[in-house]
Amino acid sequence: MTVTPPDQIESTGLSSTLPAAVEAIEGRGPWLLAWARLRRDKVAVGSSVVILGIILLALFAPWVAHLVGHGPNTQFRTTGLSPDGIPVGPGSTFLFGTDDLGRDVFIRVIYGARISLLAGAVSAGLAVAVGVIIGLAAGYFGGAVDGVLSRFMDVVLSLPYLVFAIALVSLLGPSLAISVAVIAFFSWASVGRIVRGQVLSIKEKEFVEAARSLGASHLRIMFIDILPNVLAPTIVYATMLIPLSIVFEATLSFLGIGVLPPTATWGNMLSESIAYYKVAWWFVAFPGLALLITTMAFNLLGDCVRDAFDPRGNRLFVATEE
Amino acid sequence: MSLLEVDDLHVSFSTPDGVLRAVRGISFAVDPGETLGIVGESGSGKSVSTQTIVGLTQGARISGTARFEGKDLLTMSESELRTVRGAEIAMIFQDPLSSLHPHYRVGWQIVEMIRAHEAVSKKEARKRAVELLGLVGIPSPSQRVDDFPHQFSGGMRQRAMIAMALALNPKLLIADEPTTALDVTVQAQIMALIKRLQKEFGTAVIMITHDLGIIADIADRVMVMYAGKPMEYTDKRTLYHQPHHPYTEGLIGSLPQQGGRGSPLKSIPGLPPSLLRVPKGCPFHPRCVYAMDRCAGEEPPMRQVSGGLDHRSACWLPPEAVGTTTDIVVTRQELARQGRSSAQEESA
Amino acid sequence: MTEEARTGRTQRDTLLQLVDVVKHFPVPSDRLFGGKREHVHAVDGVSLDVRRGETIGLVGESGCGKSTLARCITRLHDVTSGTVSFDGRNISDLSVSQLKPYRRKMQMVFQDPYGSLNPRRRVGSIIGDPFAIHGMGKGADRKTKVQELMELVGLNPEHYNRFPAEFSGGQRQRIGLARALALRPELVVCDEPVSALDVSIQAQIINLLADLQGKLGLTYIFIAHDLSVVRHVSDRIAVMYLGRIVEVADTEELFARPRHPYTKALLSAVPTPDPDLVNERDQIILSGDVPSPIRPPSGCRFHPRCPRAQSRCTTEDPVLNVKDGDVSDHAAACHFPVADGEPLVMSQKEAL
Ligand SMILES: Nc1ncnc2c1ncn2[C@@H]1O[C@H](COP(=O)(O)OP(=O)(O)O)[C@@H](O)[C@H]1O
Ligand SMILES: Nc1ncnc2c1ncn2[C@@H]1O[C@H](COP(=O)(O)OP(=O)(O)O)[C@@H](O)[C@H]1O
Ligand code: SF4
Ligand SMILES: [Mg+2]
Ligand SMILES: [Mg+2]
């Protein structure tokens, strides 16, 4: 039997000759609809504005520091500490007051945001990337592949992460990179599980069979047919994973096994401030508040994203026959 | 007096996309022991209208009346309605699993149902449940009464639903596509069962379906619905042999039984409208081959046409234009053409 | 009897040949107690020839193995045993890469208008998938071809960039059909393509399928549980019951002279829309439900529900063969086939 070689498919030749590709009407896809819903959601807009503000402050931290004239690690022993060495409270010189070494808490908080956001975003990103690929493979191939990968995910999820982190740090020495790696290592498995579950149901759909019956490769089916359908829950989970990672990073810093002082991180600041909470409330309050507001904003946004993808009142799509 | 008289029922829902007018003025009556068929494509408002009558639609704006033995169901209190529902009016649905609780034994559910309405002992109610299951043709009912719904096949679940529906000897049974999910051989069993029980107990039935075959089998009178409105109302013979409404004609023409094998079916062009944006005038006019100028502007009322005794249709074609034979169709086309040209003359 | 004599045709106009196709699925069970693994006998020995250019209807109640058979034909499932030959070539043991050219020649249209299109992709790229997978046409060229296909199946080509959710059920079936036709297949396996649609839309799709068959010279395997639909579209009909073909014949022959009691009962169960005919026909109502395909009944699988069953039926499996006096195209698997015009229930004397 002969097979028409590629690139030589005859036109169907049956249609009433279309001149060229007809202008296409733009469709309202599921992404666009979710986006439109998100934009109408006041909470989503509010939390996005907060997150954007924090990102901007973090980005422009050196510039702000320059403007104020206070470096993150500059110690203002005369202006920043009372004569008996007590930190000064919030005022016009030091917006959020100073810490035990006479450093500007405001500047340190916005420098800390750099670490927190970076650690949060990078480790969440890594975790999602790894989790999606592993979950996709486990769910799609099933059988032995799934058996091995799923057991591996179970093991990771049941490891005591703090013990593991302390052990790793004592071996390699604390640093931001190690923190990010540790956080990502302990987060990808939950992403993987979610993705695997979704893939299991989606791979039974007829459109996957249709792709198979056309001769599509495994990779094509996994990434073109299945992945877009698991992306929505993944994005929702990723939005929730960022604050978790931020808190995780703060915990590591707080315990002294994350980013080391004097680098300003929220975790470091909190750990340093503990001894002073009676005399200098601002020292503990502002980094704590920054952590709280950031995680809350991300969590709220995550909730809104989920609602946007999965609205209660399902829409009624109606095609119009022009 | 009719058992159930529905007059000018309207039901609409507010949705994020606007007001969805699911039912837009339906009126019908069911006499004791009679079977009314409601036929129409999905989304035409069949389920919403009957569910509204028994107070099962939530969050809807409702107007009109639905008198059951003279009392308006739409203005009844929830507790009054609850005594009517089940005891006087029973319902069975397309998916029996949606109304059988998966975690309770079938028999227990029938017993509870009986005891909710009648003061009988548990033992007595259980005896009735076994009898009922036997009556609807469940093999070895005294054992199967303790099964869970998932242990029943699709056909048996529907039988169990019917048993439950008939437990209190209701005056009216509303069957909402009871056989749509079943195979033809099982469908035949269930239809035979409903007919037998109806004969035995004199229950009136509202049979909702999209299948004209079921209408032919069981209905006395038929209401054809389209886009939330009744299009035609008559007895089943007149409907099949002398339809007036072009939508009815289209439905019959779409059936594969019509015409020879391999010859094209007379399908209805286009799609049903969105209930959010129902066309002005006759809701069917964008798909109607006979559409006249008037059809796009003025909504035709239900009016008497000349097919049968009580034959009503919501179409602007002249009342005497009934039937599906070629002659009639040609006449109708001629009439429609006149309708189009006369309007053109008027506007000229 | 030889294969040739049985089907009454020569190999040449046979496009697809199934020989004793079996597909079993293992039943997921906890094997804690080391019990023997059970199997769903979804398809259990189906032989069938499909001729070039014909429409063969496949009917039977849900769960009788129609979809599984369709998936064995299109190699979405690997057969447990038996062979599937396309154009004289056994394709049931080809590797994925060897299979690829055959994928173009056989396409499938699915039942579920909602499940068969990826909700996250645009219609244009869904219909363009076959071209992308087989590396044909690029950019504007592909787009033109896709839009031609859309026009061919009666869709507005301007809707190229829309998403499946923006289309109705009937339109989605058209999209699925366009995708199936993109590579100009010879055989299209339609698995209940109209079962989920309303009658008026169903009629549109049936007409479209017939139209396309004429234009493109397609061969259809048309699966449905609605006999009136199958009767309208098919040249021949095969009736399935519990994983087997129990009867196969030309459409008119099957309706006029059903031999198998199951066929006869099935035909009589179809509702007629004409109220005057309802009471004329003698409807046969089968008792009970279809038995489980995990442990199908011994002998003839239909015997527990069969009004004609005798003791022979419970032990001896009837073969699918031509009964005395029938045309060579008409085969049934029954020990006590129904004679012309005979009522289903035999008198006691005959049985003995
Ligand atoms: N609770 C509800 N909220 C909004 N729309 C609804 C609701 N229930 C039904 N509808 C809409 O009302 C219309 C009629 O539905 P229905 O009566 O179920 O149709 P049918 O039974 O004729 O198929 C449909 O368009 C459906 O989407
Ligand atoms: N992938 C599968 N795994 C296990 N059992 C299956 C699978 N696919 C189908 N079956 C079983 O095989 C039988 C035949 O199914 P199917 O071919 O879908 O029937 P039909 O299409 O005629 O309704 C059914 O009992 C069904 O449960
Ligand atoms: S072989 Fe026997 S049981 Fe089977 S169908 Fe024929 S008569 Fe019935
Ligand atoms: Mg309904
Ligand atoms: Mg199937």
Give the ipTM of the model, two decimals please.
0.84
Any A CB within 8 A of B59 CB: no
CA C66–ligand 5 middle distance (angstroms): 6
Q: Are strands C236-241 and C55-59 parallel, antiparallel or unpaired?
A: parallel
C20 in Cβ contact with C47 (< 8 Å): yes
| pLDDT score at C34 | 57
Residue nearest to atom 19 of ligand 1 (CA): B43
**What number of other Cβ atoms are within 10 A of residue A126's Cβ?**
18
A8 assigned to some structural domain = no
Residue nearest to atom 5 of ligand 3 (CA): C334
How does pLDDT run across A83-93, given as a tens digit for each residue?
Answer: 676 766 677 76
Over 50: is that where the pLDDT of A301 sits?
A: yes
Q: Tell me, using a 6 A CB cutoff, whether residue C176 lines ligand 3.
A: no
Going along chain C from its start, the domains and CATH numbers come out as 16-27+38-105+185-351 (3.40.50.300), 121-183 (no CATH)
- Copy the structure tokens of residue C227: 């006999």
SS3 C109: strand
Total domain count, chain A: 1
| C321 or A112: which leads in pLDDT | C321
| pLDDT score at A307 | 78
User: Dihedrals φ, ψ of C122, to 5°?
Assistant: -75, 150
Over 60: is that where the pLDDT of C350 sits?
A: no
CA C333–ligand 1 middle distance (angstroms): 46
| C302 or A316: which leads in pLDDT | C302
Residue A135, min C-alpha distance to chain B (Å): 32
| pLDDT score at B38 | 96
| pLDDT score at A232 | 81
| pLDDT score at C235 | 93
Q: Do B17 and A321 touch (CB under 8 A)?
A: no
Q: What is the mean pLDDT of residues C52-75?
A: 93
A17 assigned to some structural domain = no
**What number of other Cβ atoms are within 10 A of residue B8's Cβ?**
11
Query: Which of B13, B15, B56, B225 for a ligand 1 pocket mutation test, highest count of atoms within 8 Å of Cβ?
Result: B13
| B262 or C255: which leads in pLDDT | C255
In whole angstroms, give the CA distance from residue A64 to residue A53: 13
Chain A residue with CA closest to C188: the answer is A213
Q: What is the mean pLDDT of residues A165-184?
A: 81
What is the domain extent for residue A166? Answer: 41-67+87-320
Q: Which atom of ligand 1 is nearest to the CA of B43?
A: 19
| pLDDT score at A322 | 31
Exposed / middle / buried, residue B44 (Cβ in 10 Å: 0-12, 13-18, 19+): buried
Over 70: is that where the pLDDT of A234 sits?
A: yes
Residue A223, min C-alpha distance to chain C (Å): 12
Q: Are strands B312-313 and B229-235 parallel, antiparallel or unpaired?
A: antiparallel
How does pLDDT run across C170-222, given as a tens digit for each residue?
Answer: 889 999 999 999 999 999 999 999 988 888 889 999 999 999 999 999 999 99
- Copy the structure tokens of residue A123: 């480790």
Q: Along the 348 residues of chain B, how does pLDDT read in single tens digits?
A: 789 999 999 999 988 778 899 999 999 999 999 999 999 988 899 999 999 999 888 888 999 999 999 899 999 888 888 888 888 999 998 877 777 888 889 989 899 888 888 888 999 999 999 988 988 888 888 888 888 888 888 888 888 888 888 888 899 999 999 888 888 888 888 898 899 889 888 999 999 999 999 999 999 999 999 999 999 999 999 999 889 999 999 999 888 876 567 788 888 888 888 888 888 999 999 999 888 888 998 999 999 988 667 899 999 988 888 876 666 666 777 777 776 665 444 443
A270 assigned to some structural domain = yes
Helix and strand counts by DSSP (H, E) for chain A: 12, 0
CA atoms within 13 A on the CB side of C16: 31
A233 assigned to some structural domain = yes
CA B111–ligand 5 middle distance (angstroms): 37
A78 assigned to some structural domain = no
In whole angstroms, give the CA distance from residue C314 to residue B334: 64
| pLDDT score at C57 | 96
Any C CB within 8 A of B271 CB: yes
How does pLDDT run across A40-83, given as a tens digit for each residue?
Answer: 888 888 888 888 888 888 888 778 777 777 776 767 667 666 66
Over 70: is that where the pLDDT of A2 sits?
A: no
Residue nearest to atom 1 of ligand 3 (CA): C334
Instruction: Residue A59: give its domain's CATH number.
Output: 1.10.3720.10
Please name the residue that has the structure tokens 């036109």: A11
C40 in Cβ contact with C65 (< 8 Å): no
In whole angstroms, give the CA distance from residue B310 to residue B298: 24
Residue A132, min C-alpha distance to chain C (Å): 17
A33 assigned to some structural domain = no
Q: Do A207 and C116 touch (CB under 8 A)?
A: yes
Residue B14, min C-alpha distance to chain A (Å): 10
Chain B residue with CA closest to C227: the answer is B184
Any A CB within 8 A of C183 CB: yes
Instruction: Choose among B16, B274, B277: nearest Cβ to A313.
Output: B16
Q: Tell me, using a 6 A CB cutoff, whether residue C335 lines ligand 3.
A: yes
Which residues touch B134 (CB under 8 Å, ≥6 apart)? B141
Instruction: Choose among A24, A213, A318: nearest Cβ to C124.
Output: A24
Chain C residue with CA closest to A206: the answer is C116
| A262 or A13: which leads in pLDDT | A262
Q: Do C162 and A229 touch (CB under 8 A)?
A: no
| pLDDT score at C347 | 44
Residues β-bridged to residue C194 = none
Q: Which atom of ligand 3 is nearest to the CA of C261?
A: 5
Over 60: is that where the pLDDT of A24 sits?
A: no
A285 assigned to some structural domain = yes
Instruction: Give the pLDDT band (50/70/90) at residue C289.
Output: confident
| Four-point Cα dihedral A44, A46, A50, A52, nearest 10 | 60
A159 assigned to some structural domain = yes
In whole angstroms, give the CA distance from residue C350 to residue C335: 13
Instruction: Give the pLDDT band (50/70/90) at residue A261.
Output: confident
In whole angstroms, give the CA distance from residue B251 to residue C198: 10
Mean pLDDT lowest for which of A185-189, A263-267, C75-79, C198-202?
Answer: A263-267
> Residue B90: in which H helix or E strand, if any?
strand B89-92
Chain A partners within 8 Å of B16 (Cβ)? 311, 313, 315
In whole angstroms, give the CA distance from residue C88 to residue B215: 48
Please name the residue that has the structure tokens 């009178």: B221
Find the ligand nearest to C46 CA: 2
What is B58-115 written as a DSSP string?
-SEEEEEEEEETTEEGGGS-HHHHHHHHHHTEEEE-S-GGGTS-TTS-HHHHHHHHHH
Q: What is the mean pLDDT of residues C274-287?
A: 80
Over 50: is that where the pLDDT of C51 sits?
A: yes
**What number of other Cβ atoms are within 10 A of residue A4's Cβ?**
14
What is A157-172 written as a DSSP string?
HHS-HHHHHHHHHHHH
A26: DSSP letter? B
Instruction: Please report, for residues B313, C250, C279, C307, the alpha-carbon distance to residue C343 in angstroms, rounded to integers and kept in the order given.
Output: 42, 22, 16, 10
Residue C156, min C-alpha distance to chain B (Å): 12
Instruction: Choose among B185, B217, B269: nearest Cβ to C265.
Output: B185
